[in-house]
Amino acid sequence: MHSEKKNETVSLHVTDLGRHGEGIGKTADGYTLFVPGTVPGDEVEALILKAGKTFGYGKLRQIRKASPDRVVPVCPCADSCGGCQLQFMKYEAQLAWKQKKVRDDLIRIGGIQEPPLEPISGMQKKLRYRNKAQFPVGTGKDGKPVAGFYAGHSHRIVPCSDCQLGAKENATVIRVILEWMQEFHIPAYDEQTGNGLVRHVLIRKGTATGEILVCLVINSTAPEKDNRNPGYSQKRRKKKKAEGLRTEWKNELIRRLTEADSFFEEGSFLTGLTINYNPENTNVILGKRTECIWGKPYLLDRLTSEKYGFSVTYQISSQSFYQVNHEQTQKIYEKVLDLAELTGTETVLDLYCGIGTISLYLARRAAHVIGVEIVPQAIEDARKNAELNDIQHAEFFTGRAEKVVPELVRQKNIHADVVVVDPPRKGCDPELLQTILQISPEKIIYVSCDPATLSRDIKYLTENGYRLAYAKPYDQFGMTVHVETVCLLTRIK
Ligand SMILES: C[S@@+](CC[C@H](N)C(=O)[O-])C[C@H]1O[C@@H](n2cnc3c(N)ncnc32)[C@H](O)[C@@H]1O
């Protein structure tokens, strides 16, 4: 029985990190406390915020002896912003923790006693690696518009326009947009009331091309129909959502952002400005409709495989998924190609294919590639990308992979030598895994951004005729708790 109570300050020796990057320590009498912002090896004092029977949650009060793995975070917002859970840790220690996380999950959840795990691949460029930023916009205490990031586990905006993981140009774009909003009294969206106009700013940069696409997400159903003010009066607020942006506001934003180009890094330039309409009271950032008000509705980027001696150019729209770390993505896709060992005669399925990124790598070495993806805009991009790269033997289908693939098996009797899956964090749908077993490819290559769901799916596949032959973690998301893993499963003959 432990005597620790809420609001008590206790001394703690931190020995591990939890799934969300919070330090885990024990008090002198063995009580376990989770304390964000602490690092294994730290001796700290923590305030108990929540005390359960066997463990509790605390807040860091004071570091009595710093861990040798502790470093001073580069970002001034690291304490308050929820994005970089590991910026307090030496990069090598972050990598070691991620390697252990993947290994532990493969053993504990995947039931693989001796995982064939290669050492994690670390990033050369540890900051400014993200090619995409999503800034929520709100109203500060002084009534002025602010943009930044959400504090951990909340929707409180921590003002920050220059995230150290993102492109340098983000700060300029955000400054211009906030000044524009302030000058023209354009209200930020308020999640509580559902009023206001500007919800988010999305900025994407093509690392290889320097192209920058800005997308302003607004709380409105349709492009502007007239010149009335967006719902300022309480009366009108109750009746309807804020209306769209006035034409003169759009024109002014275009003028300011195109002129801001001159502050961008050499070689970087604005390629398009889009408005996304999201009138829903929801956490989902993007609405269904996007309008391009200047330039192109997409940006171009290029990925290169030095080993295989080719580059692939991709068109990426605001609503399409694209891996955020250019350097690591190139390594991961090259590894997929290595593991596939294609000879030019094979049929390959690329499931959860996004804009056809992996599909078009595989198409360089396969006879036929079939991609399946749920987002229609991404499939439009994928088809365009096949054209752009002069690839005729890749075809793409829109829909849920777990519905489309069984249909393709039923109607077209498709077969595949290699199946690649790259699902979102929740992993593969069970129906899809069953269909893959039915297709019975020689190889399944699993690209995953969540070791827990990856391990769950590996358990199912290894219990049903496959063997985990290879696994390698990649650090795609330095300073955060996230880790990417590439696995090869081979059919047991
Ligand atoms: C992690 S991304 C991978 C995309 C692509 N392979 C890449 O590397 O860029 C996962 C993709 O799965 C798509 N997706 C999510 N659920 C899906 C489903 N049930 N069926 C098909 N695609 C889905 C998402 O829209 C997203 O494009």
Give the DSSP letter string of 19-87: TTS-EEEE-TT--EEEETT--TT-EEEEEEEEE-SSEEEEEEEEEEE--TTB---SSTTTTTBSS-TTT
Read off the pLDDT of residues 138-151 as tens digits, 9 standing for 90 and up.
999 899 999 998 88
Residue given tokens 């150290």 in the structure block? 164
The domain spans of the chain are: 9-65, 103-123+325-491, 132-301
Tell me, which fold does domain 9-65 have in CATH?
A: OB fold (Dihydrolipoamide Acetyltransferase, E2P) (2.40.50)
Helix/strand/coil for 406: helix
What CA–CA distance (Å, rounded) separates 329 from 326?
5
Provide the pLDDT for residue 176.
97
Q: How confident is the model at residue 232 (pLDDT cuts 50, 70, 90)?
A: very low
Say if residue 164 carries a ligand binding annotation: no
pLDDT reading at 224 higher than 80: no
Residue given tokens 């290894």 in the structure block? 462
Pairing outcome for strands 418-421 and 347-351: parallel
pLDDT reading at 419 higher than 80: yes
pLDDT reading at 83 higher than 80: yes
Provide the pLDDT for residue 5.
87
CATH topology agreement for domains 9-65 and 132-301? yes
Provide the pLDDT for residue 76.
81
pLDDT reading at 78 higher than 90: no
Rounded percentage of the chain residues whose pLDDT exceeds 90: 84
Q: Which residues contact 168 (CB under 8 A, 6 or more apart)?
A: 128, 162, 264, 265
User: How many other CB atoms are there within 10 angstroms of residue 147's CB atom?
Assistant: 25
Q: How far is the CA of 131 from the centre of ligand 1 (A)?
A: 18
Q: Is the CB of 453 under 6 A from ligand 1?
A: no
Nearest alpha carbon to residue 389 among 327, 323, 300, 307? 300
pLDDT reading at 226 higher than 60: no
What CA–CA distance (Å, rounded) separates 486 from 445?
7
Q: Is the CB of 321 under 6 A from ligand 1?
A: yes
Q: Which residues contact 275 (CB under 8 A, 6 or more apart)?
A: 215, 216, 217, 218, 223, 244, 245, 250, 290, 291, 293
Q: Are 367 and 438 in contact (CB under 8 A)?
A: no
Give the H/E segment covering residue 488.
strand 484-491
What CA–CA distance (Å, rounded) separates 300 from 381?
11
What CA–CA distance (Å, rounded) separates 169 from 10?
44
Strand order in the sheet with 198-205: 157-159, 145-150, 132-139, 198-205, 211-218, 269-277, 289-295
Q: How confident is the model at residue 81 (pLDDT cuts 50, 70, 90)?
A: confident
Q: What value does the mean pLDDT take over residues 382-410?
A: 98
Torsions phi, psi for 170 (to 5 deg)? -55, -40
Give the H/E segment covering residue 170.
helix 169-183
Provide the pLDDT for residue 244.
78
Catalytic residue numbers? 449
Q: How far is the CA of 320 from the centre of ligand 1 (A)?
A: 9
Read off the pLDDT of residues 330-361 as tens digits, 9 standing for 90 and up.
999 999 999 999 999 999 999 999 999 999 99
Q: How confident is the model at residue 283 (pLDDT cuts 50, 70, 90)?
A: confident
Nearest alpha carbon to residue 380 among 315, 287, 323, 285? 315
Q: How far is the CA of 427 from the centre of ligand 1 (A)?
A: 10
Q: Is the CB of 422 under 6 A from ligand 1?
A: yes
CATH architecture for residues 103-123+325-491: 3-Layer(aba) Sandwich (3.40)
Q: What value does the mean pLDDT take over residues 127-148?
A: 95
What CA–CA distance (Å, rounded) separates 89 from 112?
29
Q: How confident is the model at residue 223 (pLDDT cuts 50, 70, 90)?
A: low
Residue type, 142: D
Q: How confident is the model at residue 227 (pLDDT cuts 50, 70, 90)?
A: very low
Q: What value does the mean pLDDT take over residues 213-227?
A: 77
Pocket test for ligand 1, best of 350, 369, 373, 396 (most atoms within 8 A of CB): 373
pLDDT reading at 229 higher than 60: no
Q: Is the CB of 435 under 6 A from ligand 1?
A: no
Q: How confident is the model at residue 222 (pLDDT cuts 50, 70, 90)?
A: low
Say if residue 328 carries a ligand binding annotation: no
Q: What value does the mean pLDDT take over residues 443-450?
A: 98
Say if residue 323 carries a ligand binding annotation: yes
What CA–CA distance (Å, rounded) separates 36 from 347?
47
Provide the pLDDT for residue 233.
39
Q: What is the mean pLDDT of the chain?
A: 93
- Report for 29-38, 189-198, 440-449: range of highest mean pLDDT: 440-449
Tell me: domain 132-301, CATH 2.40.50.1070, correct? Answer: yes
Name the residue at shortest CA distance from atom 9 of ligand 1.
Answer: 322
Cα dihedral across residues 227, 233, 239, 243: positive or negative: positive
What CA–CA distance (Å, rounded) separates 310 from 390?
13
What CA–CA distance (Å, rounded) separates 493 from 490?
9
Q: Are 154 and 82 in contact (CB under 8 A)?
A: yes
Q: Which residues contact 103 (CB under 8 A, 6 or more apart)?
A: 115, 117
Provide the pLDDT for residue 79.
78
Q: Are 304 and 264 in contact (CB under 8 A)?
A: no
Tell me the ipTM for this assembly. 0.99
Provide the pLDDT for residue 242.
53
pLDDT reading at 11 higher than 80: yes
Provide the pLDDT for residue 155.
84
